[in-house]
């Protein structure tokens, strides 16, 4: 069944989302408040907006300026209900792939739990002194109060339909709740388009780049992320070195069969390396990595997000956060 056939269900989904938001807007349901200030980072579409790299970039920026910061995450796809701190070298089945990647890349504490409030309490009980929580994928998680709501946008959000026939979790009208919108530097025109649609919010721009391994040789590229086309497009500069490619679903858990398939592709194409993303690498078990590396080296293309005008971003946050937290920026 194509998703287009699900369009008649869109009004039902829209009504459910609208009812939930109205309940919070009217105070019928109250958000719970943690001791520390919360900065939410989210999006309005399913997968591939660049939210996770932005969380990593913001966590690093705050940490570099002496702010104690941690990350609270649901841990999508994890097989545990425990509220706990993420081990950066731990199992993605236990913690979730994005929390493990954030813990590794940002080098800040990450806490997971379906109830982000409970994860925040754990963080505050462990440390005690004041810091700032970054709430990963928090725009729709309105049960936890926040001081700042950052929404990472993708160009396609302006053309998408609501779930289930499209990829929008909420309509563009929900952006009126946002404190700040994040756009890619190449999407500068979207700022005016959003204003034309009545959405006037402060905008931060980010630069996204990819760091490719040197001396790669012929490679089999594979990924299981939200927008695989963007990953493969970024590899065009390799000038024909990608001899085969394979795409898996977002958050895909790699099986032994998947690994064997990739190995056969590498052998058939006489490849000299496997190339994948950091998010995919954390989803490969140590055994799977060893299997692949025994055939040809397993290499990673690193996606890096950098915030334009860091001083302005920090100044903006200082104006949005309560005074007792803002003074630390």
Binding residues for ATP: 45-52
β-strand partners of 132: 37, 69
Token pair in block for residue 25: 């807007």
Decide the pairing of beta strands 219-223 and 180-184. unpaired
In contact, 108 and 1? CB cutoff 8 Å = no
Residue 21, φ and ψ in degrees, nearest 5? -65, -40
Quick one: angle between helices 310-320 and 51-64, nearest 10? 90
Decide the pairing of beta strands 203-211 and 298-307. antiparallel
β-strand partners of 293: none
Alpha carbon distance 87, 110 (integer Å) = 8
Residue with token string 């105070």: 27
Alpha carbon distance 269, 251 (integer Å) = 26
Annotated binding-site positions:
45-52
Residue 183, φ and ψ in degrees, nearest 5? -120, 150
- Residue 169 sits at the vertex; the CA angle it makes with 312 and 77, to the nearest 5 degrees, is 95
């Amino acid at each position: 069944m194509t998703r287009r056939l699900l369009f008649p269900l869109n009004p039902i989904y829209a009504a459910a989302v609208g009812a939930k938001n109205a309940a919070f807007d009217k105070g019928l349901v109250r958000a719970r408040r943690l001791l520390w200030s919360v900065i939410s980072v989210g999006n309005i579409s399913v997968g591939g907006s660049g939210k996770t790299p932005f969380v990593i970039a913001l966590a690093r920026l705050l940490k570099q300026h002496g702010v104690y910061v941690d990350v609270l995450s649901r841990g999508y796809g994890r097989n545990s209900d425990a509220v706990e701190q993420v081990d950066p070298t731990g199992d993605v089945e236990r913690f979730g792939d994005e929390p493990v990647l954030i813990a590794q890349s940002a080098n800040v504490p990450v806490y997971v739990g379906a109830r982000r409030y409970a994860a925040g309490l754990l963080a505050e009980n462990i440390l005690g002194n004041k810091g700032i929580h970054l709430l990963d994928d928090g725009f729709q998680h309105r049960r936890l109060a926040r001081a700042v709501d950052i929404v990472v946008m993708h160009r396609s959000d302006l053309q998408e339909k609501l779930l289930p026939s499209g990829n929008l979790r909420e309509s563009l009208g929900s952006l009126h709740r946002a404190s700040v919108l994040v756009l890619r530097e190449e999407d500068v025109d979207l700022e005016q388009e959003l204003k034309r649609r009545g959405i006037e919010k402060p905008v931060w721009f980010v630069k996204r780049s990819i760091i490719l391994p040197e001396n790669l040789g012929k490679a089999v590229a594979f990924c299981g992320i939200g927008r695989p086309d963007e990953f493969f497009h970024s590899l065009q500069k390799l000038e024909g070195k990608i001899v085969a490619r394979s795409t898996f679903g977002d958050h895909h858990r790699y099986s032994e069969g998947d690994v064997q398939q990739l190995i056969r592709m590498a052998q058939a194409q006489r490849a000299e390396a496997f190339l994948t993303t950091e998010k995919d690498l954390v989803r490969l078990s140590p055994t799977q990595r060893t299997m692949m590396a025994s055939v040809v080296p397993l290499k990673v293309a690193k996606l890096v997000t950098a915030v334009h005008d860091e001083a302005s971003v920090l100044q903006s946050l200082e104006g949005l956060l309560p005074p007792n937290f803002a003074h630390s920026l």
